[in-house]
Every structure is written in structure tokens, then in C-alpha cells.
Structure 1
Amino acid sequence: PAVPALHASSRGSFLLPKFHHQQHHPPILPTDPNPAIFGAAKMSTVHIKSAAEFQKLLSSSRIVVADFYADWCGPCKAIAPLYEQLSSSLSRKNVVTFVKIDVESQKEIASAYSITSLPTFMIFREGKTIEKVQGADPRKLQEVVKRLAKEVSEGDSGSGEASGSSSGGNWRGAEFPRGYGDVTGQIEPKGCELLNADEDFGPVKVLFDPSKPSALAKKEGAKDWVESGADDQLLLFMPFQSMIKLHTLQLTSLPPTDNDDDEAPMRPGTIHLYTNKPHNLDFSEADDTPPTQAIELTEKDWNADGTANIGLRFVKFQNINSLIIYVAKGDGDGEKVRLDRVRLIGESGEKREMGKLEKIGDEAGE
């Protein structure tokens, strides 16, 4: 669903949608900022004075964390101490820079990045948007920044290995392409639909779980994967919270390897992708609709962690608001396919067309 618009009053200020004032989270301060990761160099938060200054920082600092706020915004003030704590703990010259952008004085920047609710936090890597957090949710902000800290630490250590062997909540089945980030968080879970899924296995949301699949973690418990039901086809519809540019699709499939059962599930073999559909297709529609991209996977395409790193025709996946993954056939002669994780790699929310700001009347109270 679209984010409610900020309306411009007759005085030119933004009016915050009421629902943002209805939920207040107590600030959660970092308990383990781990300054050793970032060295001794300390930087203060940069208050952006112009679009040119912001663009210069995006070019000079590997990572930029931006807080879009307004002085009159209560939730902005409530989360400000946490943001300053994170900035003080994690800033590092030319590597990680925290900035604050007043949407009243920097309307050009706010418009360019489609800021429609406050506060909004955006994270940029090498000038490209990799994350967008809307609302004063300290847990979400802290989660994103901690992941950022880990990525910077791994980058500085020169590790080129996939982080599938690491512990923690954000597992990667394969490395991300340089300059692009995980935009799986832009999926709107409530709008997702998975057709032909066996109800004895996990719901659709398990596909977007950031943790390591239980099949790799050797954990017993809930079945955190999906399997097809009647045959070897699945149709997954995913709407996005904002327009994204999709560069790479990562699929993880971990069927049992020591099972001689003829009914054991297979990995996906033939996959069709469709973009910008308002809703899911049915199977006959999918068969009759030319895909945005067709993919054939074989055994050699899957790495040791059961992940296929699928490069997309980037020009065909610009500014998309939904994605359908159609597993048309499994890789083998079985009757079921299994899917454990889906990761979307690309850019999100960068310089969408404005049009969310609307003039309202001059009547009293508006």
C-alpha cells in the first residue's frame, strides 16, 4: 500500500499523517556498539545545508545514513537520542557518515528521495539506496544499523566469503554483487500470495526470513520452507512497499540429500519472472504470458549452501512495484519442488517520481 502523503499547508510546511503520532516506542540505546570495528576516529553527525553538500558526501563516504526530520515532528524528536548514539558509536571518516536533513529547509532533497512520512531513515552504499526505514521504530533502526556495522567490519577485514557460515540473524546464501544491497525488506508480506503450496509446510513469509535455514543450521522445529502440493509448480506474488531496481535474485533450496524417497522434493528448474503485475497470475495465465525473464537452473547453479545466484537483465527490472516468481518445473522427475529462501538484491526507493505532496486549502485548521 502507498505511504500516506505529507500535505503542504498554506505556510509551506508538511503535515504529518496522524497514525505516526499514535505509536511511541521507548528509545533503545546500543548495548554493544563495538567501537573496535570502526577504530578510534570519531565524527559528529553532519547537518546537511544544501543538496550539493549531500551529493558530495554520497560520493566521498562509502556508507551514508540519513535522518529526514522536521523540528515540529514529535516522533522525530523521540528517536533523535538513539540516532545520535548510533552516530557517535559508528561514524568513521569517509566510511560511515551519519547526516540529518531538515525537510523544511531542504525540500529539494526531500522531494528527490520521495520523503512522504517522518521520520524516514535512508542508508546509501556508494551513493545508492540500500535501505529505507519509515517511522520512529527504534528496534528496526537499530537492527538495520547493526547489520550495517557488521557489513562494514566484514568489508574492512577483506573477507570475500559468503556469510552463510556466520551466526546471527542476517544470513546470506551467497555474496551480493558489489554496490547493491538486500532489498527483500521492501516486500509487503501481507500482500504476498503463494499458489499450490502444501499447507503441511511453512507459510509464505518463511521465504523472507533473514535467518539461516534450519536445514543448514541443523535445527529441529518449525518447517521454515515451502513445498509445492499437487505438482512441481509454485506461483509466488510479491508486491513492494516502494519502487525498486532489481539486479539479482537469490533462491535457496535445500531438499534432503540422503533421502531415497521417490517423493522427495526437487529444486526449481524452470523459472519465469513477471514484473509490475497488480495481482498474482493463475497457472494458465502464467503459461500463456511471455515472462520478463525466463531462467533454466541446473545442478551446477547451486552453491554449497543450496543457493542459486541469478543475475537479471537489469534494464528490464527498473522501477518495479511487484514481482512474480513462477516455478514452472522442478529440476528432475519428482512431483514436488522445495524453496527455503528468497533474496532480492538491488536498489530501493531512489529518486522516485514525486507527486505525493499535495496542496491543500487555506481554510482555518488546514
Structure 2
Amino acid sequence: MPIDFITSTREFEDCLVHNKYLVANFTATWCGPCQAIKPLVDQMYENTAKYGNIEVVRIDIDAQSELASRYSVTSIPTFLVFESGELTKRLSSANVSELTQAFDQLALKATDGVRKGSGAKAVLMKVDDDELKSLVPKGYEILNPKILMSEFVSFNASPLLTVQTKDGDAPSANQLFKLEENSPVYSDADSQLLFYVPFTSVCKVYSVLLKVEKVTAVEGVALDEEDIAETQFPNIINVINGRVTLFDEAVLDTKHHHEKLEGKLVDGQWYECKLKYVRFQTCYGLSIFFDGEDEDYHTVVKQVVLVGVSGESAQPQFLQRLEE
């Protein structure tokens, strides 16, 4: 199981409450030393025989600036060690021996703690959709918890439901990509939808899973009956490796994955859009474009799940270089 990125201050506070021994790794995707030390941290985390009672979470300083400010993190990588919610040690370097020593010292104390996981892990554990699980091949994972929501951008997309989240926040288009508290979206002005989905680390993307569902006039739906009558499923999906912010560019199908969906989508079921893996082996973010057959209708999408390999995976050559 890869190390999770913290997605909110509240999630980190929950981690402190539920994990007696916790290491918070403050990092950033653009930080070279952070990426260099990452495989070592992953390797120790996966060594459950020795470090299984220590929880580790990552905090992207760009996405969680409030937490970085709270703990006076001014350089990265920074590792903060917490015991029973109290900050007991701070390391601000990518020094292999110092970090290993800190973990070893904490492991000697961590005889009565049990790793409880972070909020992101809890989300993954709540995926009880057997059909969805069957579409995640062995060796791959769901990448949605690795989305950097602070940089997520949607164009012409509005949340279909008006229900607030459990934190009291207004519904937003990014809920289309959430496994928990998921909400469908619809195209507002015309039939086109465009999303830029950045990752917290470089990923290899294997497939885009898409679910659609017919809209009905029930309480909490943002559309009235007349608009509901003019909704449709997407008949085209374009997936681009990188950031696209113009619809005219997203419509082109020459340099990315283009697929016609007409007749392929079934109400309430997942559709697997397999990508040409060679084009998506190094992804810092994806642009996903949908369009419907009738340009005057609202295109509706219920949920999108990304499958692949997270950049959290260890790179042995980096580890060897560090140890040398």
C-alpha cells in the first residue's frame, strides 16, 4: 500500500488522533531531494515487520500550505515525528542515515501502537464496488486519492447535486473524481466538459473508468424537469497527457487518446477506457474532455476513476544512488 498524501487539515488531525506514532513527510513534486529520498521512505514503510506500528503520511506543501505554516516548515524535505499527538523530532534533510536512525529509534518505542491509516486510506478501503475492483488489474491501483485537488480545474462543469459535503462545503465539480461523497456533473452552457486532473506525483495511467446514470427529478438535483429532459450521456472522450485549457485543443484527436462512446455506455455500469500505455507512462496530470451528440443538451457524467501506477512506487536506482 503506497503512502498517502494528506488532503486536508482535518484529515491530518484525524491521523494524529488515531496513530500513536506518526511521521509526517513534507514534500513537493518539484523538489529533487524529496523525490530522491522518497524510495527509502517507501521501503521502510513497506517493511511492516520492523516499522509496522509507525504510520507515515505525505504532505504536499503547495496543496497544504496551512499545515506547512502551522509547523514552520521552511525547507523540504522535512520529517516531523509525532508521539501521541506531540511533536518530538524534526528532520529537515534528505540524509539517508539520519532518517533511518530516526525511524529505528521510533520503532524501538512503537511496540504498543498500531498503524491506523490516513483519511486517504480510509477512502480506498470504502471502495466496495465489486465491478470497480474487477477493473483494477493486479499490480495497479486507483489513482484518485493521488489527485492534487488544489490544482484541479474544471471547465463548463457544474455539480448535479446540491447536497453539501459532510464538512459543510458546497458541492463542486471535483467530486466527480472522489470515491467518497461522489457527485455527478453536467455540462452547463453546452454539451462539452473539460477537466484538468493533476497528480501529487508522476504516475503511469492504465485506464479511465467511466460511469453514467440517467438523471431523474428528485430532491437535491440542480436541474429542473425541462433541463433533465435535455440531458445525455457523452459520446466522445479525449484523454490528453498534460494540461489543456482550451476546448478547441481538447477536441483534436491527433496527439492523445480519442474514443467514441456511442452505444458503449450502460446506465449505472462502469465502462473501461483503456489508454495506449506508452503515451501515458509519465503523467504529472491528465486533461479529460467529454462531448455529447447534441450540442444543445447537458452532458452528464456520474463518476470517473483513474487506474494506473502511482509515482509512490520505489525506484531502486534512486535508492542505490543515495546509499552510495
Fold match (TM-score > 0.5) = yes
Range class of TM-score, shorter chain: 0.5 to 0.7
The CA deviation at 1:283 is 1.3
| 1:203 maps to 2:172 | yes
1:2 to 21, 29, 37: 29
User: For the aligned residues, what is the CA RMSD?
Assistant: 4.3
Unaligned runs of 5+ in 2: 1-27, 35-39, 42-73, 86-98, 162-170, 219-223
Q: Secondary structure at the match of 1:230?
A: coil
Could you say which residue in structure 1 is the equivalent of 2:268? Answer: 305
The CA deviation at 1:242 is 1.3
Name the CA distance, whole Å, in 2 between partners of 1:294 and 1:271.
6
Name the CA distance, whole Å, in 1 between partners of 2:280 and 2:193.
21
Residue pair 1:192, 1:237 contacting (<8 A) in 2 also: yes
| 1:296 maps to 2:265 | no
Name the CA distance, whole Å, in 2 between partners of 1:305 and 1:311.
19
* TM norm structure 1: 0.50
Judging by fraction of residues, say which structure has more helix.
2
Q: Secondary structure at the match of 2:227?
A: coil
Could you say which residue in structure 1 is the equivalent of 2:304? Answer: 342
Name the CA distance, whole Å, in 2 between partners of 1:80 and 1:181.
32
Provide closer, same or farther for how the CA distance between residues 288 and 249 of structure 1 changes in structure 2, counting only shifts above 3 A. closer
The CA deviation at 1:78 is 8.1
Residue pair 1:196, 1:228 contacting (<8 A) in 2 also: yes
2:153 to 193, 204, 211: 193
1:143 to 122, 146, 154: 122
The CA deviation at 1:261 is 4.7
The CA deviation at 1:248 is 1.1
Could you say which residue in structure 1 is the equivalent of 2:114? Answer: 85
Q: Secondary structure at the match of 1:227?
A: strand
Could you say which residue in structure 1 is the equivalent of 2:245? Answer: 281
Provide closer, same or farther for how the CA distance between residues 287 and 3 of structure 1 changes in structure 2, counting only shifts above 3 A. closer
Specify the code of the residue in structure 2 equivalent to 1:346. G
Could you say which residue in structure 1 is the equivalent of 2:278? Answer: 315
2:203 to 229, 244, 252: 244
The CA deviation at 1:268 is 1.4
State how 1:169-188 maps to structure 2 within 5 Å.
172=132, 175-188=135-148
Q: Secondary structure at the match of 2:238?
A: strand
Could you say which residue in structure 1 is the equivalent of 2:232? Answer: 266
The CA deviation at 1:262 is 5.3
State how 1:212-227 maps to structure 2 within 5 Å.
213=182, 224-227=183-186
Could you say which residue in structure 2 is the equivalent of 1:72? Answer: 102
1:164 to 126, 129, 134: 129
The CA deviation at 1:82 is 8.4
Q: Secondary structure at the match of 1:71?
A: helix
1:123-171: CA deviations, max 9, x gaps? xxxxxxxxxxxxxx95348638x83xx99xxxxxxxxxxx427xxxxx9
Specify the code of the residue in structure 2 equivalent to 1:267. F
Name the CA distance, whole Å, in 1 between partners of 2:192 and 2:177.
19
The CA deviation at 1:212 is 7.0
Q: Secondary structure at the match of 2:114?
A: helix
Provide closer, same or farther for how the CA distance between residues 83 and 331 of structure 1 changes in structure 2, counting only shifts above 3 A. farther
Provide closer, same or farther for how the CA distance between residues 250 and 331 of structure 1 changes in structure 2, counting only shifts above 3 A. farther
* TM norm structure 2: 0.56
Provide closer, same or farther for how the CA distance between residues 287 and 332 of structure 1 changes in structure 2, counting only shifts above 3 A. closer
Name the CA distance, whole Å, in 1 between partners of 2:175 and 2:114.
33
The CA deviation at 1:256 is 1.8
State how 1:342-361 maps to structure 2 within 5 Å.
342-349=304-311, 350=313
Look at both structures and tell me which one has the larger radius of gyration over its CA atoms.
1
State how 1:19-30 maps to structure 2 within 5 Å.
20-21=78-79, 24=82, 26=84
The CA deviation at 1:357 is 12
Specify the code of the residue in structure 2 equivalent to 1:234. L
Q: Secondary structure at the match of 2:232?
A: coil
The CA deviation at 1:267 is 1.6
Name the CA distance, whole Å, in 1 between partners of 2:111 and 2:156.
44
Name the CA distance, whole Å, in 2 between partners of 1:173 and 1:258.
30
The CA deviation at 1:193 is 0.3
Provide closer, same or farther for how the CA distance between residues 23 and 324 of structure 1 changes in structure 2, counting only shifts above 3 A. farther
Residue pair 1:6, 1:358 contacting (<8 A) in 2 also: no
Q: Secondary structure at the match of 2:258?
A: strand
Unaligned runs of 5+ in 1: 8-12, 28-68, 87-136, 152-162, 166-170, 214-223, 360-366
Name the CA distance, whole Å, in 2 between partners of 1:343 and 1:4.
28
